[in-house]
């Protein structure tokens, strides 16, 4: 029965019962963390063999003869370019392989636009105003980068097909101070939505007023499927932009942080030749190059895209039960109550929950009091400000399935109590 259709008395009775259960929960002294998309020890264990493929007897020459132990090579060894290109669905000529963090590439790209401008355009530090489109809910670390550079962020609503393209087309065509958009196009953070073909094609065909408008296409979960049989597919943004006559409009990012080891993986950017040439002008001044031994380690371990896919099946085997345990509790406990909505993603790292308006902060706080830590409410919006105080991100990757079920129990309990309190306010 919908909570909103229950009488005040019914709600109070129910609440008393739930409060009792909450008291029980608290007394258990739980200590569960569903806050960040952090791999579990089990996940890290399946990659340990990677640490054996390079040892003191290895030939550390890349396929083009480069001694990976020495200086040289700014854009990645050829076989690493190929591996990352295949993972991202593009070709090696579009790739620069970087160090251990794609976030660092994104930061540096924004910073470079700010200090030097893209392809000869005015550096953003010389402009009065720079704005950015932010599909919401989204990834807090994206928003932190644009906030750091004083860029004004504009919320764009998301649907299962991706961000609201009508709104985006309208905004970018009229306002040349809008310089970019953050996208997590596949298994989006946090909702797990994948942009439809139409969304990708419309994105690639944008006609921005700003010549230096860039799509920041963070393909973080491109091979992070939960199922063998149900997998989302996404069009290649690089070639779609080429076809639409906008080859320079996109930067695509990916890494193996959630494939091999977070912090010890490799990352890459894909872009047009003009953009890559522009980047390299900075790169040769900024660094002596990235870790080629680690590039070699990744290529020799995974071998090719099929190796990557097989490896990600191992991840899916223990990720899936965590997602399913969580969704089972949400479905069983909250279906039909109309106090929240959620989506069962086919991949990625998160489940996104939309509570009744004005309830997210209270739910997160109540969970915390009972020893269940969630991502801060609001974190999925620019300026940490969720205008509806509704979205909560659940990260099942770190705990065990059993812990996830326990945590989800607490979560639904808190959601029920806070929702009843909200409804009672207006009764």
Please give the residue ranges that form the binding site for a copy of itself (CB under 8 A).
36, 38-39, 41, 44, 47-52, 54-56, 58, 67-73, 99-101, 103-104, 107-108, 111, 114-116, 123, 125-126, 141, 144-145, 148-149, 257, 261-264, 282, 285-294
Nearer to a copy of itself, 181 or 266 (CB): 266
Alpha-carbon distance 192 to 19, whole Å? 32
Q: How many CB atoms lie within 10 A of CB 257?
A: 20
Q: Which residues of 333-349 are buried (b: 16+ CB within 10 A; e: fewer)?
A: ebeebebbebeebbbbb
Query: Tokens 């970087």, residue?
Result: 98
- Minimal distance in Å, beta carbon 368 to a copy of itself? 20
414: exposed, middle or buried (Cβ count in 10 Å: 0-12, 13-18, 19+): buried
Nearer to a copy of itself, 262 or 371 (CB): 262
N-terminal to C-terminal alpha carbon distance within the chain: 17
Alpha-carbon distance 52 to 150, whole Å? 45
Alpha-carbon distance 241 to 373, whole Å? 41
- Minimal distance in Å, beta carbon 149 to a copy of itself? 7
Which distant-in-sequence residues (6+ apart) come within 8 Å of 230 by Cβ?
346
Nearer to a copy of itself, 69 or 174 (CB): 69
Which distant-in-sequence residues (6+ apart) come within 8 Å of 326 by Cβ?
351, 394, 396, 404, 405, 407, 408
- Minimal distance in Å, beta carbon 8 to a copy of itself? 46
- Minimal distance in Å, beta carbon 213 to a copy of itself? 20
- Minimal distance in Å, beta carbon 396 to a copy of itself? 16
How far, rounded to the nearest angstrom, does the alpha carbon of residue 123 sit from its chain's CA centroid? 28
Written as one string, the DSSP assignment of 118-130 is STTPPPGGGSS--
Is 380:190 a contact under the CB 8 Å cutoff? Answer: yes
- Minimal distance in Å, beta carbon 352 to a copy of itself? 20
Nearer to a copy of itself, 43 or 191 (CB): 43
Alpha-carbon distance 410 to 365, whole Å? 12
Nearer to a copy of itself, 140 or 236 (CB): 140
Nearer to a copy of itself, 174 or 281 (CB): 281
Nearer to a copy of itself, 18 or 60 (CB): 60
Alpha-carbon distance 197 to 296, whole Å? 34
Q: Which residues of 4-23 are buried (b: 16+ CB within 10 A; e: fewer)?
A: eebeeeebeeebeebeeebe
Nearer to a copy of itself, 159 or 284 (CB): 284
Nearer to a copy of itself, 144 or 167 (CB): 144
- Minimal distance in Å, beta carbon 375 to a copy of itself? 14
Nearer to a copy of itself, 112 or 416 (CB): 112
Is 24:413 a contact under the CB 8 Å cutoff? Answer: no
- Minimal distance in Å, beta carbon 52 to a copy of itself? 5
- Minimal distance in Å, beta carbon 76 to a copy of itself? 11
Pairing of strands 267-270, 162-163: unpaired
Written as one string, the DSSP assignment of 171-194 is HHHH-TTEEEEEE--SS-TTT---
- Minimal distance in Å, beta carbon 414 to a copy of itself? 26
């Amino acid at each position: 029965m919908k909570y909103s259709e229950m009488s005040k008395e019914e709600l109070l009775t129910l609440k008393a019962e739930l409060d009792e259960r909450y008291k029980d929960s608290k007394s258990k002294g739980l200590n569960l963390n569903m806050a960040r998309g952090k791999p579990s020890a089990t996940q890290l264990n399946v990659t340990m063999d990677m640490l054996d493929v390079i040892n003191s007897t290895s030939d550390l020459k890349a396929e083009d003869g480069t001694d990976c132990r020495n200086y040289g090579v700014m854009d990645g060894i050829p076989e690493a370019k190929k591996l990352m290109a295949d993972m991202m669905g593009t070709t090696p000529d579009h790739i620069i392989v970087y160090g251990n963090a794609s976030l660092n590439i994104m930061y540096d790209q924004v910073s470079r636009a700010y200090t030097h401008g893209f392809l000869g355009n005015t550096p953003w530090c010389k402009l009065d105003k720079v704005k950015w489109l932010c599909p919401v809910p989204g990834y807090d670390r994206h928003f932190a980068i644009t906030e750091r550079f004083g860029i004004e962020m504009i919320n764009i609503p998301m649907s299962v097909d991706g961000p609201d393209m009508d709104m985006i087309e309208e905004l970018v065509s009229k306002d040349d101070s809008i310089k970019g958009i953050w996208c997590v196009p596949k298994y989006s953070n946090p909702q797990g939505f994948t942009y439809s073909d139409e969304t990708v094609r419309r994105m690639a065909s944008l006609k921005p007023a700003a010549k230096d408008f860039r799509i920041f296409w963070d393909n973080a979960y491109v091979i992070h499927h939960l199922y063998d049989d149900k997998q989302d597919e996404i069009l290649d943004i690089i070639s779609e932009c080429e076809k639409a006559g906008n080859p320079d409009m996109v930067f695509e990012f990916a890494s193996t942080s959630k494939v091999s080891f977070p912090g010890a993986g490799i990352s890459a950017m894909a872009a047009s030749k003009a953009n890559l040439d522009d980047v390299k002008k900075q790169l040769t001044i900024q660094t002596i190059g990235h870790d080629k031994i680690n590039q070699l380690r990744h290529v020799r371990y995974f071998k090719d895209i099929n190796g990557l896919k097989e490896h990600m099946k191992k991840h899916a085997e223990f990720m899936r039960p965590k997602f399913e345990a969580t969704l089972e509790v949400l479905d069983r406990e909250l279906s039909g109550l109309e106090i929240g909505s959620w989506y069962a993603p086919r991949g990625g790292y998160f489940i996104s929950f939309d509570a009744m308006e004005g309830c997210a902060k209270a739910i997160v706080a109540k969970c915390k009091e009972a020893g269940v830590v969630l991502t801060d409410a609001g974190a999925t919006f620019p300026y940490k400000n969720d205008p509806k105080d509704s979205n909560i991100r659940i990260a099942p990757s770190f705990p065990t399935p059993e812990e996830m079920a326990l945590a989800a129990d607490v979560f639904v309990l808190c959601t029920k109590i806070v929702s009843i309190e909200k409804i009672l306010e207006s009764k």
